[in-house]
Amino acid sequence: MNVGSAIKPLLAAATLMQRPELATLEVRNDAPTMYDVWGLPLGKGFESGASCPLGWIGLRQYLSCSSNRFSAALVAAALAPAVRRDSVQMDDAPGVSFRLGGETHVGKRPHLALDRNHQIRADTLNASVLAAGLFALDSLNTSLELAAQLGREGRDSSVWMRLRDDRFNPVRVPLGLWPEQSRLAMMRGSRPATVRQLAMFSVGAAENRVTTLDLTQAFARLTTDRRVGLTFVPTQGHASFPSMALSKYSWYPAFIGGLHDVGTIGTAKGTQTAIAQQLSPSLTFYGKSGTLNAPPHVRHLRRADTTMVNGTPVVRILAFSDTVVPPVVAKTLLFAIGARYAHTSKPVANGGTAGGSGKAEDDSAGAIDCGVVGTIYFRLRRNPPHVESLATDFANERLWRLLRKHWQRLKVC
């Protein structure tokens, strides 16, 4: 399913796990509408991020205000081959400016792995930094064909692995109970994707589809720094998950801090306060909201029919419209609420927090040690204005109260 901007933490972390030098990237937000990505035209206007201020946007602010401009720029740079390089390769690009490592670059852009038509080939995406990072993060595939091969009829049985009955006999789970396979692709088949399709991919639209199970599992890994595995199969005792070692990266404090900012000054502003009031002041919120309002993709077809009238062929032209992709209206909230034990602050490379925020590490800038992680997802038929923050409102008005009622029984923290 399309989850909108809730996919952005996964795309960013996957990129930075492979290319940590991109953590200091800053792009200039100079208007509410963007018309290009790294100087390459989008065809028509694309919202750059309604909650983002004008000026330079770095990693932390990108997550808190949900900058589409930054997301598209980062994903485009992450199309580079997954071969280790010591520095970001540059190309000439008149009219483009950005910052990297605190240095402003004018008339340049990171090398983009595009073909001669400025399009992205499927094999380029599948061999990219982004693809390698997504697979390392949560075994996510950028190839629709590979995702289909790994499952059965586009479904995933891993959440049912090792299910046994009360006599310890293996249980076969019906195919209908298997969740769908997640598939983060730009296009179907081998057709190349346009820069606009890249921009849509970077905001969780088009063929960028992930299940709520994979989304929750990946977000749990990012916020706990543990290789958490979700399953429907009960286990004996407490599960133990190995470390992801994300905390070793200099970009992690800015990354996790940006997810905390979502609930204080960002797109889910007020959520941290609601948790403090309804659950406990000692609990910290990390999250990412997502709103997607994708119009339908309509194909206009014309067909010529020839009939014989009194021995004379008569051609009639028939025109009709075919909705290839229905409209998608989705409201999503990824959340992690929990507590951190005492941690020793670690210095950040280059003296300061990655992403240009200039903030020192605080209590919200590290992985949680205990807590609850989840996804709220609403799929609507239309997008009335009064449900703009539906998922966040549901959490603040209903979910936290429910958790408070059962918090002691759950023994989370």
Residue 314 domain flag:
no
Beta pairing partners, 100: 103
Residue 306 domain flag:
no
Residue 317 domain flag:
no
Residue type at 392? T
Task: Quote the pLDDT of residue 326.
Answer: 59
Total domains in the chain come to 1
pLDDT in tens, 139-157: 898 887 776 666 666 788 8
Nearest residue to 320 via CA among 300, 304, 296, 297 = 300
Can you say how many angstroms the Cα of residue 204 is from the centroid of all Cα atoms in its chain? 6
Question: How far, in Å, CA of 292 to CA of 354, rounded?
Answer: 29
Chain-wide mean pLDDT for the chain? 87
Share of the chain above pLDDT 70, in %: 86
Question: How far, in Å, CA of 69 to CA of 32, rounded?
Answer: 10
Question: How far, in Å, CA of 184 to CA of 60, rounded?
Answer: 23
* Average pLDDT score over residue span 326-342: 86
Task: Quote the pLDDT of residue 320.
Answer: 65
Tell me which residue has tokens 């693809």. Answer: 131
Between 36 and 189, where is the model more confident? Answer: 36
CATH of the domain at 65: 3.40.710
Residue 319 domain flag:
no
What distances in angstroms separate CA 368 from CA 104, 230, 325, 343, one per listed residue? 35, 17, 39, 11
Nearest residue to 91 via CA among 112, 67, 69 = 112
Q: Copy the structure tokens of residue 397.
A: 């008005």
Q: Copy the structure tokens of residue 287.
A: 């999250």
Question: How far, in Å, CA of 189 to CA of 187, rounded?
Answer: 7
What distances in angstroms separate CA 87 from CA 83, 100, 111, 209, 261, one per listed residue? 11, 11, 11, 31, 30
Task: Quote the pLDDT of residue 278.
Answer: 95
What distances in angstroms separate CA 286 from CA 63, 180, 270, 331, 341, one per listed residue? 11, 26, 12, 17, 16
Query: In the chain, what is the straight-line distance between the N-terminal and C-terminal CA atoms, in Å?
Result: 32
Task: Quote the pLDDT of residue 386.
Answer: 67
Residue 310 domain flag:
no
Q: Copy the structure tokens of residue 330.
A: 């989705």
Q: Is the pLDDT of residue 362 over 70?
A: no
Burial 119-132, CB ≥16 within 10 A → b, else e = bbbbebbbbbbbbb
Task: Quote the pLDDT of residue 348.
Answer: 40
DSSP-based three-state secondary structure for 335? strand
Q: Copy the structure tokens of residue 251.
A: 């970009």
Residue 30 domain flag:
yes
Q: List strand residue ranges (DSSP E) for 20-147, in order.
A: 26-29, 33-37, 40-47, 55-57, 90-100, 103-110
pLDDT in tens, 288-298: 999 887 665 55
pLDDT in tens, 345-360: 444 433 333 444 444 4
Residue 128 domain flag:
yes
Q: Which residue segment(s) compose the domain that 177 sits in? A: 4-296+326-410
Sequential DSSP letters for 9-23 = HHHHHHHHHH-GGGG
Residue 284 domain flag:
yes
Q: Is the pLDDT of residue 181 over 90?
A: no
Residue 45, number of CB atoms within 10 A of its CB: 11
Question: How far, in Å, CA of 43 to CA of 126, rounded?
Answer: 25
DSSP-based three-state secondary structure for 317? strand
